Amino acid sequence: MLEKIKSEASAAIEVAADLKALDDIRVKYLGKKGEITAVLRGMGALSAEERPIVGALANTVREEIEALITGKNEALAAKAMEEKMASEKIDVTISSKRAVQGKLHPLSQVLSEIKDIFIGMGFSIADGPDVELDYYNFEALNIPKNHPARDTQDTFYINDNVVLRTQTSPVQVRVMEKQKPPIRVIAPGRVYRSDAVDATHSPLFHQIEGLVVDKGITMGDLKGTLETFVKALYGEDAKVRFRPHHFPFTEPSAEVDVSCFVCGGEGCRVCKGEGWIEILGAGMVHPKVLSGCGIDPEEYSGFAFGLGLERVAMRRYDIDDLRLFFENDLKFLKQF
């Protein structure tokens, strides 16, 4: 009887597939209602001679079964651990998905280069709002209501007194109202005009304003500053040329050309045979603008200039369509 229990139990233990099955076997044979226990309980019916023999045998069988269960338990636990390790294995040598690294937009690249040049000359950076009072964008710059200069700078009106700024020049006024000379700032930013989109026009573009006010500032300082700037941007051979022009807030005013950096002035496709490329508007700050900001034009003078960022970038990278800057097509942007 006990021999039969032993061989059945060991066969069952042998094939037990998991810890749960093994525990069921333990209960079945060794538990309170198990088969070995039943044998021990039934010993009362045996003779005095048989009892110790059967008792000893039952204990031996129980110990043997216990040992088998313990052994199997360890084997199953080891197997479970092995399977867990295998399922959680990671290959540290596998190549990773590489994160795509972005970079600065070409306009930002050119802007930071320009900022660096002016900061190197002692300028600091000023700022003003895109949504601007008509007063700063026009009136304070000597462009009263109904002045014809407003036609060329039509913009988006929030109401009669608030516009999207058409130029960065209003920052000149904001700076001069707050800060007394010496003043030496550039003011980069977005500007807006109600122009239809084409290869050279956009209702939104960028300018970089420059303003210097101090005692004894002359047109020579303007020319020297712009020459230094242009050589830093386009190389030592670059020259500047001033052509007379009119801006209501500077007097005298000029449009400034740089010698073509592709052909060096001989005439080519980029400069359309001219040898020169227009890059900015400039002039001496109008006395009316100075006094409007509480700066005495008898004591102080200044110059200002306004540079178009897209133009500089288009020429720098030989880009013929302004729209490319704003479409954000990665095939285009990745080239810079």
Peptide bond into 244 cis (omega under 30): no
Least distance CB 334 / ligand PHE (angstroms): 31
The one segment of 89-97, 234-242, 258-266, 298-306 that binds ligand PHE by CB under 6 A: 298-306
> Which of 151, 327 has the CB closer to ligand PHE?
151
> Which of 25, 304 has the CB closer to ligand PHE?
304
Q: Rule CB under 6 A: say whether 169 interacts with ligand PHE.
A: yes
Q: Rule CB under 6 A: say whether 304 interacts with ligand PHE.
A: yes
Concatenate the DSSP letters of all residues of 95-121 into one string.
PPPPPPP----HHHHHHHHHHHHHHHT
Q: Rule CB under 6 A: say whether 226 interacts with ligand PHE.
A: no
**Helix, coil or strand: residue 270:** coil
Sign of CA dihedral 194, 196, 198, 203: positive
The one segment of 18-26, 85-93, 267-275, 302-310 that binds ligand PHE by CB under 6 A: 302-310
β-strand partners of 133: 162
Least distance CB 208 / ligand PHE (angstroms): 10
144, 162, 193, 197 from 134: Cα distances, Å: 10, 5, 14, 24
User: What's the one-letter identity of residue 275?
Assistant: G
Query: What is the C-alpha to C-alpha distance for residues 161 and 41, in angstroms, rounded to an integer?
Result: 107
Q: Rule CB under 6 A: say whether 188 interacts with ligand PHE.
A: no
Least distance CB 333 / ligand PHE (angstroms): 27
β-strand partners of 184: 212
Q: What is the DSSP letter of 162?
A: E
Out of 281, 284, 313, 325, which residue is the one contacting ligand PHE (CB under 6 A)?
A: 281
Tokens for 214, please give them. 């101090």
Write phi, then psi, for 258 (nearest 5 degrees). Answer: -115, 145
Least distance CB 254 / ligand PHE (angstroms): 8
Q: Rule CB under 6 A: say whether 283 interacts with ligand PHE.
A: yes
Q: Rule CB under 6 A: say whether 248 interacts with ligand PHE.
A: no
Out of 306, 311, 313, 314, which residue is the one contacting ligand PHE (CB under 6 A)?
A: 306
Out of 137, 250, 259, 301, which residue is the one contacting ligand PHE (CB under 6 A)?
A: 250
Pairing of β 250-259 and β 240-247: antiparallel
The one segment of 40-48, 111-119, 126-134, 278-286 that binds ligand PHE by CB under 6 A: 278-286
Query: What is the C-alpha to C-alpha distance for residues 147 and 143, in angstroms, rounded to an integer?
Result: 6
| Counts for the chain of helices (H) and strands (E), in that order | 13, 10
The one segment of 125-133, 176-184, 259-267, 303-311 that binds ligand PHE by CB under 6 A: 303-311
Q: Rule CB under 6 A: say whether 142 interacts with ligand PHE.
A: no
Least distance CB 120 / ligand PHE (angstroms): 21
Query: What is the C-alpha to C-alpha distance for residues 47 and 324, in angstroms, rounded to an integer?
Result: 107
> Which of 283, 292 has the CB closer to ligand PHE?
283
Q: Report yes or no: 247 and 284 within 8 Å, Cβ to Cβ.
A: no
Residue nearest to ligand PHE (CB): 306
Site of interaction with ligand PHE (CB under 6 A) = 167, 169, 247, 250, 281-283, 304-306
